[in-house]
Chain A
């Protein structure tokens, strides 16, 4: 039964979200199509799907042995490593790219080593580099999703396996393979959908006729060719691709991959011998793969901190301002929708997922087309970035809050109703105190994503009024790598700081 102020708020929020998502889409649809789809556009679509598929498969192929090793081994630093697997999600993408360049780029550690051995160099640009960066960013997420699958194997089944004398091979065949069959489609599709709309990675590591995604082609059409009709057409292609991916993902239950207890004592057998060595090697390689680029940023950025260009500080202020505005907007909207859904409003569910069918640049293109005839896009760069960032982050916040909202309504909905506790008093006395931990986590996540986001701002910003990720990208474009690394270090600190502050608020007063 959904009624009262809460249901009304949820309906209004859903209508507003549908408006700001579908409105720009409608504009894009209306403006698309004058030129028809050219060969370059098809190539962009093909490359988009191709790199996303490769990225999904590579991420999951790397994640399975790592998740298995983490599931069955206990070692010092294990929980630290599992926590660190959450870090790439908060890490600004441009920083990750910078770190990967430092390790795998032409002057990076790997190529220096290869040259010393007289071996051919590897190139980080093009398909290989894009996939490498996507694996770096998404393999940890895939690992956490798959690890949850392993930890959800009932202890009774493992006891049964042991009593039947199963060895590692039989456990793999009768327990692990069926579990993976359930978990892998969700993990593959999650990574695939994320990589479809990846922008910052392709902006730096892709480009050119052979390695341009639809998202990058939209950016180029707006910024360089100023062909808004073509941008709109590409945006329609992007929506079709995302819509199909989200629709497919809806067929599979996608596990969350964020929190949940990761330290339940699982009675997985710990086979010795070569399997033990393999697990150790897998864990060491993964830790090195994740830590290497991060350490490279710190190592290169520390000297750069002393010589930061002046453009960095206003950009940092802009990024933090966007986060401060976008996070409450996204989390407040997600909370209204989650509470509405928990009280039985079914229409909320598809609306909350609506942003996933678009992308940052698709929404940006629509808004660009809307404002362009009236004002200079650069003057509205910040409000547009706040809005698009909040809208794109809302589904994540909704997913985090929904289980908590359901529990709240199930446990205390009747009591609150019987006491007439509703509206603002209910928010102040019941919802915020009970959901504080989830709200803090969601706020922190959205704020960190907003600080580090390099997406729609690239469409709108002029030379002034850039965000910090955009300034870093420009420094990299100008080959000022040391300054870029210093600014990147600052950006990482800002992203983790806003996350920490919000998460800390959520964990405070946890006395109930």
Chain B
């Protein structure tokens, strides 16, 4: 269980609070207007945004003092998920060993096969399409096998069909991992997430059933959906 315990982030005139838990294996969407703090919430959980107060726990143990790489999670960013000067296989290998010295390259090839990139390990990221690059980043998260997966709109630049395909792939590969996914598209939330967190007016509200949320949207969400 991931627990945000009285979490508060204050930066100049921006603030964000959250105080709730989500269970292992859940699929949770994070939705809300631009600038409300969706990415800040994920950044705080991942360790890129310092907490002003509060705590973050995974299975009861505090993780907010850990360096980003030591937290029990993987994160896919909006862009720059792959190092352009390393091969696709090396980019995946970083998920197993950041020094690339003790990498099980057979496991890397298996991960590439599972995301449909078999045989493309020797390429550079620049030689991949946008969809293929997303698959490679996902394959690395798969190799890291952390119990939490944070998606900060990594598929936002893909077309609707490709995005749906990627969400299906995440659903298939994430397995028992908890997935928190930022999106600005209600259909993503409805298709993918059992529960949804609404971020608005300085608060990340506790997750509620996605279907119920959209059936009876609170004022902030109604304004956002227009």
Task: Enumerate chain A interface residues (CB-CB to B < 8 A).
Answer: 1, 3-4, 411-412, 414-415, 417-422, 424-426, 428-430, 433-434, 511-512
Cα of A3 to Cα of B144 in the assembled complex, Å: 23
Main secondary structure of the interface of A (DSSP, over half): helix
- What residues of A have a CB within 8 angstroms of the CB of B69 in the complex? 417-422
Least CB separation from B48: chain A residue: A414
Least CB separation from A415: chain B residue: B80
Cα of A45 to Cα of B195 in the assembled complex, Å: 76
Cα of A113 to Cα of B99 in the assembled complex, Å: 68
- What residues of A have a CB within 8 angstroms of the CB of B81 in the complex? 415
Q: Does B94 have its Cβ within 8 Å of any Cβ on chain A?
A: yes
Shortest CB-to-CB span from B98 to chain A, Å, is: 4
Q: A421-B98, A425-B98 are in contact. List 12 more A-B contacts (CB 8 A).
A: A1-B48, A1-B50, A414-B80, A415-B77, A415-B80, A418-B75, A419-B69, A419-B95, A429-B83, A433-B85, A511-B85, A512-B124
Partner of A424, one of B47, B67, B99, B144: B99
Least CB separation from B100: chain A residue: A429
Least CB separation from B50: chain A residue: A1
Cα of A412 to Cα of B75 in the assembled complex, Å: 13
Q: Is the beta-carbon distance between B83 and A412 smaller than 8 angstroms?
A: yes
Main secondary structure of the interface of B (DSSP, over half): loop
Q: Is the beta-carbon distance between B126 and A512 smaller than 8 angstroms?
A: yes
Cα of A415 to Cα of B83 in the assembled complex, Å: 9
Cα of A1 to Cα of B68 in the assembled complex, Å: 12
Please count how many residues in chain B sit with their CB below 8 Å of the partner chain's CB atoms.
Answer: 26
30 cross-chain CB contacts under 8 A: A1-B50, A3-B67, A4-B67, A412-B83, A414-B48, A414-B75, A414-B80, A415-B77, A415-B80, A415-B81, A415-B83, A417-B68, A418-B68, A418-B69, A418-B74, A418-B75, A419-B69, A420-B70, A421-B69, A421-B98, A425-B98, A425-B100, A428-B99, A429-B83, A429-B90, A429-B94, A429-B98, A430-B83, A433-B85, A512-B126
- Knowing A3-B67, A4-B67, A411-B80 are in contact, say whether A421-B85 is a contact too (CB < 8 A): no
Cα of A98 to Cα of B94 in the assembled complex, Å: 55
Least CB separation from A420: chain B residue: B69
Q: Does B166 have its Cβ within 8 Å of any Cβ on chain A?
A: no
- What residues of B have a CB within 8 angstroms of the CB of A426 in the complex? 98
Task: Enumerate chain B interface residues (CB-CB to A < 8 A).
Answer: 46-48, 50, 67-70, 74-75, 77, 80-81, 83-86, 90, 94-95, 98-100, 124, 126, 144
- What residues of B have a CB within 8 angstroms of the CB of A425 in the complex? 98-100
Cα of A411 to Cα of B85 in the assembled complex, Å: 13
Least CB separation from B80: chain A residue: A411
Shortest CB-to-CB span from B105 to chain A, Å, is: 16
Cα of A402 to Cα of B86 in the assembled complex, Å: 23
Shortest CB-to-CB span from A416 to chain B, Å, is: 8
- What residues of A have a CB within 8 angstroms of the CB of B95 in the complex? 419
- What residues of B have a CB within 8 angstroms of the CB of A419 in the complex? 69, 94-95, 98, 144
Shortest CB-to-CB span from B101 to chain A, Å, is: 8
- What residues of A have a CB within 8 angstroms of the CB of B67 in the complex? 3-4, 417, 420
- Knowing A417-B68, A418-B68, A425-B98 are in contact, say whether A512-B48 is a contact too (CB < 8 A): no
Least CB separation from B69: chain A residue: A420
Q: Is the beta-carbon distance between B85 and A512 smaller than 8 angstroms?
A: yes
Q: Which 7 pairs of residues, A with B, have the shortest CB-CB distance?
A: A420-B69, A512-B85, A425-B99, A417-B68, A421-B98, A433-B85, A512-B84
- What residues of B have a CB within 8 angstroms of the CB of A1 in the complex? 48, 50
Shortest CB-to-CB span from A440 to chain B, Å, is: 15
Cα of A414 to Cα of B98 in the assembled complex, Å: 14
